[in-house]
Structure formats: structure tokens, C-alpha cells
């Protein structure tokens, strides 16, 4: 078979030595020991660099991305003030400017090797359906370059925000894929429970998965995570639910945390941690010792709960940084969760690859004969080096097509004696 692309001398996870990887008709067709070069339309020599089968970004807010360019300063640095600042911005949204901002962020995502992405879009009477319409528009613009799931996200609440429930159904009809929620942003525990019940009602109506912002607070009395696990089992939605943030879990006493983690495992709820944003937002009102708000990643993993990690916010009122780079998120996760052992570093890479695919229920990304040819060649020899340096992506291949490349070589040394030439 004539090859479209041959990637030579590449290092692959769980395979000893280097391999030549052949691609044709959008799929991997050969993975062999290096040998005499086969005929290929495009020949790429990885020279021992490692590759992963595409990164997964499981939690973004494309509708809010880059709004820091016109937002007032979040003086307190808190989640509460960030939400309030967004009210005026959302009132002035247009579909086209949302799509244009999101496009800039997605361009960077592609350069960074992201092949699958899930974005929450605000659904409330303030912005109406415009956030969803803008991201649906950009999803079409980038179709074929990366797969995008859209979550209908009622950040302002459902029970305390009249009209939101109807808007959620409208946005699902427009083309959103997943039903979102934020149950702790209600006025009482009973309202929070009803919030979750409504989300399940809509999810069952549209046969959709669920991804909720859960207990994004330092408050150890926040209890919506356990309710979510309970209702997941009751509704038979095991494996189809993700709980994002779950910051309060880090404030629970050990016995209650272990109980909740056990319930999450029983319900097969996926956890999506967002280390960058939550390290920035949580603990703002603490004196010392100061909580940092990141969920109990290692404890969840040890219990068999699937944990993925996402960027969450990109240069908005919640988080002023962010460049949609999964390696940066894995790097922050390692620090915030004390993941320094070799096996833990490998797991950190999985939180932005295979764990993310499982949480989003995309097909598991693999480099194997017959699989879709998504491949990201990194300017690194192994996982630790890749996360340490947040290395450039040498080549990004998507469905058998080269869609991005970097000519920047990190290992570039110059002889001072030759510098004048």
C-alpha cells in the first residue's frame, strides 16, 4: 500500500525501541521496526522523539475566552466576582465575536496537538442562546481539525434563574451535546438537589451525557457531589456523568471524603480537575494555612475513579492566563497534587490523553494498526521531559493529514565563536 505519511524513528508509549509509523487513507496501516524507507508522499523523521495519539481538552469555556481584553479587573480574585463581571459582558455578546474569540483559542489548541475538546457555554436569560450559537458556529468552522462537544451550562442556576430550564432545552435542540449544571449556585440544599434532578430530566429527554460544575467552593459543607453520585445511580446514567472541579472535596474530613469517593466509584462518575483555575480562585478568603482548592486527585485515582484534567478558563475574568496547552495543565497538576514519582508523571500525561477521552466518551486514542491516524510528535524523548519543558509540538497529524508543525528546535546550541557569522 502506498503511504500518505511515514513517520520514521518515533518513540511510542508502551513499546520498546523506535518505530516507523505508516499512515494511509486517514488510518495507521503499519507500525514496524525502522528499516529502509518505504515510499510515502510525505516522509517525517522524528529522530527518536516521542509521540502521543492526540491530546484531549475535557473542560473549556470558549464563549468566555479572551474576554479579559475588555473586562474590569477581578479585584477580589474570587469566583463570585468573576461571575458578576461576566454579566455585563454577556449582555453585549454577539454570535460573531464569540466565534472569533473562540477561533483564536482553537487555533492555539490545534498547534498544541488537541484533537478532542469539550466546551461549556453559558445558558441563562442574560446571554440567551448567543453563547451556544457562537460556539456551534465555530465548531462547524473547525470541523475535521478537532472534535468539539458543547455543554449547555446554567452557571446562574436553574431554580433561582427563571427561564433557564426552557433555555437549556432550546440550546440542546440547537445542537449542544451535553447537559451541564452548577447545583451549588442555588439558594438552598433542596434547590441544589432539584437543580440536579432537572439536569437528569433534560439529559434523559435528549439521551445526552451530563457534565456539571460541582462544589466549586472551599466550603466543606457543600454536599452536591454526593447527591450527584446518588442520582447518577438512580437514573442509570453510570459512566455518562462528569463532575468538574469538585473543590470542596479537598476540604472534607477524611472519613466523609472517603465515603464520597466510594460513591463516585460506584456511580462511575468521571472527575475533571482544573488545576490552573482552581489554584488561582480557591482559598482567596483564607488566612494561613491557605487552602488551594484542587480536588483529591491522587485519592480518587487510587480508588479507581477516572480523573481527567482541563484548562477551564483562558484569559478571562476567572483566570488571566492560559494558552490551551495540555502539557502545561499536566505540569501544574504534578505540582499541585504532589505527583513526582515516575508512575505518577505517566498518570499525569494520561489525565490529558486517555483519561480525558474516557470522560468525554470519545473512542480511546491509540497508535495501532487500523486506528484513526491522530499523532502528535513532541520535541522530547519521554513523558517527563515533555511535561518538564512543555515542549513544542514538532508535528500534529489529524485523521492522516499534517495540520500543524513547529520548526522551533528546543535543543539548539550555538558556538559563541561562530555567533558573528
Band (pLDDT 50/70/90 cuts) for residue 36 is: low
Residues in the chain: 421
User: Which DSSP state fits 222?
Assistant: -
pLDDT recorded at residue 414: 41
Position 415 pLDDT exceeds 50: no
Here the cell at position 156 is: 446562574
Of 81, 111, 186, 216, catalytic: 216
Q: Which residues of 110-146 are buried (b: 16+ CB within 10 A; e: fewer)?
A: bbbbbbbbbbbbbbbebbbbbbbbbbbbbbeebeebb
pLDDT recorded at residue 203: 98
For the segment 247-260, what is each residue's pLDDT rounded down to a tens digit?
Answer: 999 999 999 999 99
Share of the chain above pLDDT 70, in %: 96
Nearest C-alpha neighbor of 196 from the set 125, 143, 267, 257: 267
What residues contact residue 413 under an 8 Å CB cut-off, 6+ apart? none
- CA 390 – CA 399 distance, rounded (Å): 24
Position 39 pLDDT exceeds 80: yes
- Asked if residue 192 lies in contact with residue 184, where contact means CB atoms within 8 angstroms, the answer is yes
For the segment 99-130, what is each residue's pLDDT rounded down to a tens digit?
Answer: 999 999 999 999 999 999 999 999 999 999 99
Band (pLDDT 50/70/90 cuts) for residue 30 is: very high
pLDDT recorded at residue 261: 98
Band (pLDDT 50/70/90 cuts) for residue 35 is: confident
pLDDT recorded at residue 38: 72
Q: What is the pTM of this model?
A: 0.94
Beta strands at 18-24 and 27-32: parallel, antiparallel or unpaired: antiparallel
pLDDT recorded at residue 37: 63
Q: What is the largest CA-CA distance in the chain?
A: 73
- Asked if residue 313 lies in contact with residue 349, where contact means CB atoms within 8 angstroms, the answer is no
Helix (H, G, I), strand (E, B) or coil at 50: strand
- Asked if residue 152 lies in contact with residue 178, where contact means CB atoms within 8 angstroms, the answer is yes
Q: In whole angstroms, what separates CA 52 from the centre of its chain? A: 16
Neighbours of 285 (CB within 10 A): 12
For the segment 169-214, what is each residue's pLDDT rounded down to a tens digit?
Answer: 999 999 999 999 999 999 999 999 999 999 999 999 999 999 999 9
- Asked if residue 35 lies in contact with residue 284, where contact means CB atoms within 8 angstroms, the answer is no
Residue 57, strand partner residues: 117
Contacts within 8 Å (CB) and 24+ apart, 86-93: 86/122, 86/316, 86/317, 87/126, 89/64, 89/317, 90/122, 90/124, 90/126, 90/127, 90/131, 91/126, 91/127, 93/63, 93/127, 93/130, 93/131, 93/134
pLDDT recorded at residue 34: 87
- CA 187 – CA 412 distance, rounded (Å): 57
For the segment 294-335, what is each residue's pLDDT rounded down to a tens digit?
Answer: 999 999 999 999 999 999 999 999 999 999 999 999 999 999
pLDDT recorded at residue 331: 98
Nearest C-alpha neighbor of 22 from the set 44, 1, 5: 5
- Average pLDDT on 395-410 reads 88
Mean pLDDT of the chain, nearest integer? 95
First to last CA, the chain: 46
- Average pLDDT on 11-15 reads 92
H-run or E-run covering 179: strand 178-181
Cis peptide upstream of residue 289 (ω within 30 degrees of 0) = yes
- CA 69 – CA 316 distance, rounded (Å): 8
- CA 142 – CA 138 distance, rounded (Å): 6
Nearest C-alpha neighbor of 365 from the set 335, 334, 326, 394: 326
For the segment 152-161, what is each residue's pLDDT rounded down to a tens digit?
Answer: 999 999 999 9
∠ Cα 166 122 191 (to 5°): 60
Query: Phi, psi at residue 299, to the nearest 5°?
Result: -70, -40
∠ Cα 356 93 138 (to 5°): 45
Specify whether 216 is catalytic.
yes
Amino acid at each position: 500500500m502506498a503511504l500518505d505519511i511515514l513517520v520514521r524513528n518515533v518513540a511510542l508509549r508502551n513499546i520498546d525501541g523506535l518505530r516507523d509509523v505508516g499512515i494511509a487513507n486517514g488510518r495507521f496501516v503499519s507500525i514496524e521496526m525502522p528499516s529502509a524507507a518505504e515510499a510515502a508522499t510525505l516522509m517525517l523523521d522524528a529522530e527518536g522523539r516521542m509521540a502521543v495519539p492526540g491530546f484531549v481538552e475535557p473542560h473549556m469555556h470558549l464563549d468566555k475566552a479572551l474576554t479579559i481584553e475588555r473586562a474590569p479587573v477581578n479585584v477580589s480574585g474570587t469566583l463570585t466576582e468573576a461571575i458578576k463581571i461576566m454579566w455585563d459582558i454577556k449582555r453585549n455578546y454577539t454570535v460573531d465575536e464569540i466565534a472569533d474569540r473562540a477561533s483564536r483559542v482553537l487555533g492555539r489548541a490545534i498547534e498544541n496537538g488537541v484533537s478532542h475538546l469539550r466546551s461549556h457555554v453559558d445558558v441563562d436569560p442574560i446571554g440567551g442562546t448567543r453563547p451556544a450559537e457562537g460556539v456551534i458556529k465555530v465548531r462547524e468552522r473547525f470541523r475535521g481539525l478537532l472534535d468539539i462537544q458543547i455543554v449547555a451550562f446554567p452557571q446562574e442556576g436553574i431554580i433561582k434563574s427563571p427561564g433557564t430550564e426552557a433555555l437549556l432545552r432550546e440550546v440542546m435542540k440547537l445542537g449542544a451535546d451535553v447537559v451541564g449544571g452548577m447545583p451549588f449556585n442555588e439558594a438552598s440544599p433542596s434547590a441544589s438537589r432539584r437543580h440536579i434532578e432537572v439536569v437528569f430530566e433534560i439529559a434523559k429527554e435528549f439521551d445526552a451525557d451530563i457534565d456539571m460544575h460541582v462544589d466549586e467552593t472551599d466550603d466543606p459543607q457543600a454536599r452536591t457531589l454526593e447527591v450527584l453520585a446518588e442520582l447518577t445511580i438512580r437514573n442509570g446514567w453510570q459512566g455518562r456523568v462528569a463532575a468538574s472541579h469538585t473543590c470542596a472535596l479537598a476540604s472534607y474530613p477524611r472519613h466523609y471524603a472517603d465515603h464520597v469517593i466510594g460513591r463516585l466509584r460506584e456511580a462511575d462518575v468521571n472527575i475533571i480537575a482544573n488545576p490552573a483555575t482552581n489554584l488561582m480562585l480557591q482559598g482567596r478568603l483564607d488566612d494561613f494555612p491557605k487552602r488551594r482548592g484542587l480536588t483529591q486527585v491522587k485519592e480518587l485515582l487510587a480508588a479507581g475513579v477516572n480523573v481527567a484534567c482541563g484548562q477551564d478558563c483562558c484569559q478571562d475574568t476567572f483566570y488571566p492566563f492560559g494558552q490551551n496547552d495540555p502539557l502545561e495543565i499536566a505540569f501544574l497538576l504534578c505540582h499541585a497534587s504532589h505527583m513526582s514519582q515516575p508512575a505518577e508523571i505517566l498518570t499525569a500525561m494520561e489525565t490529558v490523553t486517555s483519561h480525558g477521552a474516557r470522560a468525554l466518551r470519545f473512542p480511546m486514542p491509540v497508535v495501532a494498526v487500523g486506528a484513526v491516524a491522530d499523532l502528535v510528535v513532541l520535541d522530547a524523548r519521554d513523558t517527563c521531559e515533555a511535561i518538564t519543558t512543555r515542549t513544542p509540538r514538532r508535528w500534529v497529524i489529524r485523521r492522516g493529514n499534517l495540520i500543524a508543525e513547529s520548526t522551533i528546535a528546543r535543543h539548539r546550541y550555538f558556538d559563541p565563536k561562530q555567533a558573528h557569522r
